[in-house]
Amino acid sequence: DQQVKQNSPSLSVQEGRISILNCDYTNSMFDYFLWYKKYPAEGPTFLISISSIKDKNEDGRFTVFLNKSAKHLSLHIVPSQPGDSAVYFCAATPPSSNTGKLIFGQGTTLQVKP
């Protein structure tokens, strides 16, 4: 049972344009969401997070939007750069949890073309 889903395995965009990565979840009680970026043979690198009490969070070129009614979040990267090419994972924290458990989506491979 996949509680966090990234339905697009891959995405290709041109350098300088916007990249939009999407993530859906099934449990309306999830209260904290994170995005990680991963290069091959490396561990995931934290990018940005959002609490369920917010609908938007920005950090430089990265913005995460949360639509609780649709159980959907998205990561916007503007402008996209070739160095952004990597696998992006969204993750959620189980509800009312103070334990270090993250539930990950399957990942989306982003390719930014020069």
Partner 1 sequence: KAGVTQTPRYLIKTRGQQVTLSCSPISGHRSVSWYQQTPGQGLQFLFEYFSETQRNKGNFPGRFSGRQFSNSRSEMNVSTLELGDSALYLCASSTSRGLGTDTQYFGPGTRLTVL
The CB-of-89 to partner 1 minimum distance in angstroms stands at 7
Residue closer to partner 1 (CB basis): 15 or 48:
48
| Least Cβ distance, residue 91 to partner 1 (angstroms) | 8
Would you count residue 109 as binding partner 1 (CB under 8 A)?
Answer: no
In sequence order, what DSSP letters do the residues of the chain get, joined into one string? --SEE---SEEEEETTS-EEEEEEES-TT--EEEEEEE-TTS--EEEEEEETT-SEEEETTEEEEEETTTTEEEEEESS--GGG-EEEEEEEEPTT--S---EE---EEEEEE-
Shortest gap between Cβ of 43 and partner 1 (angstroms)? 4
Q: Rule CB under 8 A: is residue 103 a binding residue for partner 1?
A: yes
Q: Please pick, from the candidates 18, 28, 29, 46, the single residue that binds partner 1 as defined by CB under 8 A.
A: 46
The distance of closest approach from Cβ of residue 30 to partner 1 in the complex, given in angstroms and rounded to an integer, is 10
Per CB under 8 A, does 34 bind partner 1?
Answer: yes
For 48, the token pair is: 């940005």
Q: For residues 65 and 49, what is the distance between their CA atoms, to the nearest angstrom?
A: 10
Given the rule CB under 8 A, which residues bind partner 1?
Answer: 31-32, 34, 36, 41-46, 49, 51, 89, 91, 93, 96-107
